[in-house]
Amino acid sequence: MPIQAIQMTLTQTLVMGLLQIVVVLIAVFIMVPLLTFAERKVIGYIQVRLGATRLAGGHVGITGPMNRVMWSMGKVPMLSILRGLPIFIADALKLITKEDIIPAKADRGVFTLAPIISVMAAFGVFAAVAYYPGVMFYLPKGFPIVGGLPFQGFITDVNVGLLFILGLASVGVYGIVLGAWASNSKYPLLGGLRSAAQIVSYEVPLTLSLLVPVLLAGSLNFKEMSILLATGKGLHPLAIIPLFIGFFVYLTCGFAETNRVPFDLPEAETELVAGFHTEYSGMKFGFFYLAEYANMIVVSALATAFFLGGHYLLPFGLQRFIPETVPFLGQPSFIFFLGKVCFILFVFLWVRATLPRYRYDQLMDVAWKYLLPLTLVNLFIAALIRFAF
Amino acid sequence: MFKNEEMEINLGPQHPSTHGVLRVKLRLDGETVTKCTPIIGYLHRGVEKICENQTYFQGQVWTDRMDYVASISNNLGWAEGVEKLFGIEVPRRAKYIRTMLTEQNRLASHLLWLATHALDIGAMTVFLYAFREREYLLDLFEAFCGARLTTTAFRIGGLREDLPPGFIKSSQAFQDRFLACIDEYEELLTENRIWKKRTVGVAKLSAEDCIALGVTGPVLRAAGVPYDIRRAFPNAAYAEMDFEIPTRPEADTYARYLVRLAEMRQSHRIIQQCIDGLPEGPVMAKIPKILRSEVNEVYHPIEAPKGELGYYFVGEKGGTMPYRMHVRAPSFVNLQALSKMTEGRLLADVIAAIGTLDVVLGEIDR
């Protein structure tokens, strides 16, 4: 979809940018709690239990009367599958109102700075993520200052977007390491050391696996890359091979980057109590929590955009087999993007419920002995396909 | 240029994976454990001394509180030990029921071990699957004696009452589905790459070391020694039962996992034989209201889920209470092996080793 260059005044640009930032932030702040709810429910059902049930499914409270009526009619209340949904509000309230303790021997400044770095790195990445590469809709004419202007599906169109994302994402580890170090406590220290080693190691195969789409698309711009890789224009049919391998390598590294099972060593609760955030409480802990889930969303969005065909229906450049004239299925849609992101997020939860945790040295083995050679070979294949055919 | 020093950390007594109040003092060089010292005693109640001041009938209540996840095994050891001291012969039906309940308790104990061991290594789903079956077993115990954990299931001379109506039927229902449940756990773990990586070759303890340290139970059998008291010194109705003693030669965490799972299948077999061959008759022997002992001493070992559980009684002339009572608790003896298993290994292996030893602190501290 071609994007017309529209002349905007400086004020309009600023207001438009602010508007988009607010929209993206709200979206993330909605998705993160929903994700925690989904985590409770998905893992609950996998483990033959119900997950969170304490709210909105019982006989008391705001929804109580409705539930009572439905039970008396012999029906299961329609909210019963969503029971526990409002728990994310309770979670947020708890985190905000809880006493914020700074240990006496901690480095106060760095201790406070660490969660801020973590959450900033996690949220800053969204600036370059194109969740829809084009105009999503036009603002109504009556809108103050920016009325009638197009609302685009990305905040900024950085021409080295991927580099920006990778750079900012790797800043996130400083939050963890500094927080662990500043706590001045033994378990967080071990967690922080593990985290530093782990994230630095996995950054290498992660970046190399993302080089495959970069090489194939010949661009670093998020928007251009996702369109090109999805539609498969100019891509050799064999390009599906490196993309397919790259996807799995990327996803594995993404699990490690976000400290999720089976790579959740920095916060392995059976070994390190709570890992790097053992000493954190209240909203400072909440920031780490937010950052982890925001990072999961970023990893899913990147995997979707570069490997799974982004906002088009079919992954790995298979979209070329559906002509653009086909309504809906042939057209780009935000729904496809969201659906794929949700699927990868589900995989995160699914894996968490299924797999045990790696040991520290095995984790390093996986990164350096298996993933790194695999990505290098994969990159070579991609280069061969790009330049030899 | 750089100062290199070892870090000392305390694992426990309040720690998610030390199963109770075990405290392990670790010296770490990076992530490598250089010294590992288990420190016990946080749950000490003086059970042995208390039992010396209570009659033989009352003492059994305290055995529930030693290995609280396998209290029926502890009850069996106490009841049989006292019966041996007084030369009481228990009716055959009571022996069968005792055997059945003890084996069901072994399943409950092994299920709890599997659940927590898997959880420690990070596989959280197995935890809930195993607890689902354990719940059913606890319901059975509740039907039998009214308590789920601290059962005090037996009486000196037999049982207080016969099985409640419907107990055999519920047990059979459990029997019918349990093998499929074991398959389900195996599906999640046995061939799981990460599970194997975390357990194969981890926390090795050779047969020589096991014997030198007095380690018994599944840990010994996973080192290739087919020593099982149910076979070596048959008690209850085990002499009439047909079962195998699973062993593995590898002597590592994975071997212990396989041995315990195989033991669960054997327990299932024994329970089935008890249900099928349950004899008719009384469940209580004729015994006097007050037991007065002669000068006598008795050591009675049984095969508890954790290993050899031995009760040692010394009776005095005309005494209604044991003059001396001592318990050889398998967890206590097995815990000695922890340092040997973990020194020179990584921190995460300590967690796996504690899990694979299957210790219960109530029994260690007594």
B132-171 pLDDT, tens digit per residue, is: 899 999 999 999 888 888 888 888 888 888 888 889 999 9
Which tokens in the block code for residue B330? Answer: 């398998």
Tell me the mean pLDDT in the region B17-44. 84
Which tokens in the block code for residue A385? Answer: 């396909």
Q: Please provide the distance, in angstroms rounded to a whole number, between the alpha carbons at the two ends of chain A.
A: 28
C-alpha–C-alpha distance, residues B300 and B77, integer Å: 7
The predicted structure's pLDDT at residue B28: 84
| Enclosing H/E stretch for A237 | none
Cβ B263 vs Cβ B248: under 8 Å = no
Nearest to B162 by CA among B287, B283, B285, B277: B283
Cβ A100 vs Cβ A148: under 8 Å = no
The predicted structure's pLDDT at residue B231: 86
Nearest Cα residue in chain A from B11: A271
Give the angle subtended at the CA of B280 by the CAs of B279 and B282, to the nearest 5°. Answer: 120
The partner residue sitting opposite B347, judged by closest CB among A189, A269, A271, is: A271
Question: What is the DSSP-derived secondary structure letter of residue B319?
Answer: B
C-alpha–C-alpha distance, residues A244 and B30, integer Å: 38
The predicted structure's pLDDT at residue B299: 92
Lowest mean pLDDT across A271-285, B58-72, B349-363:
A271-285
Q: Is A79's pLDDT higher than 70?
A: no
A356 contacts B123? CB cut-off 8 A:
yes
Q: Which of residues 250-269 of A touch B (CB under 8 A)?
A: 261-262, 264, 268-269
The predicted structure's pLDDT at residue A138: 77
Q: How many CA atoms lie within 13 A of B317 on its CB side?
A: 0
Find tokens 């000493």 and name the residue. A279
Q: What is the pLDDT of residues A128-139, one digit of tens each?
A: 887 777 777 777
C-alpha–C-alpha distance, residues B350 and B10, integer Å: 12
The predicted structure's pLDDT at residue A56: 59
Nearest to B313 by CA among B68, B62, B86, B66: B86
A269 contacts B198? CB cut-off 8 A:
no
CA distance A229 to chain B (A): 33
The predicted structure's pLDDT at residue A51: 74
Measured between beta carbons, the chain A residues lying within 8 angstroms of B132 are 48
- B131–A contact, CB cutoff 8 A: no
Residue A25 neighbours by CB under 8 Å, 6+ apart: A123, A126
Nearest to B291 by CA among B38, B57, B33: B57
Nearest Cα residue in chain A from B123: A356
Q: Is A112's pLDDT higher than 60?
A: yes
Nearest to A155 by CA among A134, A129, A136, A137: A129
CA distance A14 to chain B (A): 48
Partners of B309 in the β-ladder: B302
Q: What is the total residue count of chain A?
A: 389
Q: What are phi and psi of B158, to 5 degrees?
A: 150, -130
C-alpha–C-alpha distance, residues B8 and B20, integer Å: 21
Tell me the mean pLDDT in the region B340-352. 85
- Answer with the residue of higher pLDDT: A321 or A367: A367
B9 contacts A354? CB cut-off 8 A:
no
- B232–A contact, CB cutoff 8 A: no
A268 contacts B348? CB cut-off 8 A:
yes
Q: What is the pLDDT of residues A168-219, one digit of tens each?
A: 888 888 888 888 888 888 888 888 888 888 888 888 888 888 888 888 877 7
Q: Which of residues 185-224 of B touch A (CB under 8 A)?
A: 188-189, 192, 194-195, 197-198
pTM: 0.83
- Answer with the residue of higher pLDDT: A321 or A21: A21
Tell me the mean pLDDT in the region B84-107. 90
Q: Output the DSSP codes for B136-203.
A: HHHHHHHHHHS-SSS----BTTB-SS-PPTTHHHHHHHHHHHHHHHHHHHHHHHTT-HHHHHHHTTSS
- A188–B contact, CB cutoff 8 A: no
Q: What are phi and psi of A139, to 5 degrees?
A: -70, 150
The rounded mean pLDDT for chain B is 87
Q: Is A2's pLDDT higher than 50?
A: no
The partner residue sitting opposite A359, judged by closest CB among B15, B30, B346, is: B346
Q: Is B117's pLDDT higher than 60?
A: yes
Cβ A381 vs Cβ A242: under 8 Å = yes
- State how far the alpha carbon of A98 is from the alpha carbons of A280, A284, A314, in Å: 11, 10, 46
Mutation site, A270, A272, A351, A365, interface B, largest B CB count within 10 A: A270
Which tokens in the block code for residue A224? Answer: 């251009």
- B177–A contact, CB cutoff 8 A: no
Residue type, B107: L
The predicted structure's pLDDT at residue B312: 92
Strand order in the sheet with B23-29: B7-11, B23-29, B32-39
Cβ A115 vs Cβ A180: under 8 Å = no
Find tokens 């305390």 and name the residue. B10
A47 contacts B192? CB cut-off 8 A:
no
Q: What percent of chain A has pLDDT over 70?
A: 90
Lowest mean pLDDT across A44-53, B180-189, B243-252:
A44-53
Give the angle subtended at the CA of B299 by the CAs of B294 and B305, to the nearest 5°. Answer: 140
Cβ A85 vs Cβ B162: under 8 Å = no
Q: Is B194's pLDDT higher than 50?
A: yes
Give strand ranges (E) for chain B: 7-11, 23-29, 32-39, 296-304, 307-315, 324-328
How many A/B residue pairs have CB atoms within 8 Å? 82
Q: Is A1's pLDDT higher than 50?
A: no
Residue type, B6: E
Residue type, B174: F
Residue A14 neighbours by CB under 8 Å, 6+ apart: none
Nearest to B256 by CA among B294, B293, B332, B307: B307
C-alpha–C-alpha distance, residues A19 and A145, integer Å: 11
Q: Please provide the distance, in angstroms rounded to a whole number, between the alpha carbons at the two ends of chain B.
A: 50
Lowest mean pLDDT across A50-54, A275-279, B74-78, B196-200:
A50-54
Lowest mean pLDDT across A322-331, A336-345, B38-47, B167-176:
A322-331
Is the predicted ipTM greater than 0.90, yes or no?
no
Q: What percent of chain A has pLDDT over 90?
A: 1
CA distance B275 to chain A (A): 30
- State how far the alpha carbon of B259 is from the alpha carbons of A216, B190, B227, B244, B245, in Å: 52, 12, 13, 11, 9
CA distance A256 to chain B (A): 15
Highest mean pLDDT pick, A81-90, A267-276, B331-340? B331-340
Mutation site, B15, B185, B356, interface A, largest A CB count within 10 A: B15
Tell me the mean pLDDT in the region B298-304. 91
A48 contacts B118? CB cut-off 8 A:
no
C-alpha–C-alpha distance, residues B315 and B37, integer Å: 37
Q: What is the pLDDT of residues A209-257, one digit of tens each?
A: 888 888 887 778 777 777 777 777 777 777 788 888 888 889 888 888 8
- B300–A contact, CB cutoff 8 A: no
Which tokens in the block code for residue A10? Answer: 């400086």
C-alpha–C-alpha distance, residues A272 and A169, integer Å: 24
Q: Is A314's pLDDT higher than 80?
A: no
B122 contacts A357? CB cut-off 8 A:
yes
Nearest Cα residue in chain A from B9: A186
Measured between beta carbons, the chain B residues lying within 8 angstroms of A354 are 123, 125, 188
| Residue environment code for A178-202, b if the CB has 16+ CB neighbours within 10 A, otherwise e | bbbbbbbbbbbbbbbbbbbbbbebb
A262 contacts B198? CB cut-off 8 A:
no
Q: In chain B, what's the furthest Cα-to-Cα distance?
A: 81
Cβ A378 vs Cβ A246: under 8 Å = yes
Q: What is the total residue count of chain B?
A: 366
The partner residue sitting opposite B194, judged by closest CB among A189, A262, A264, is: A262
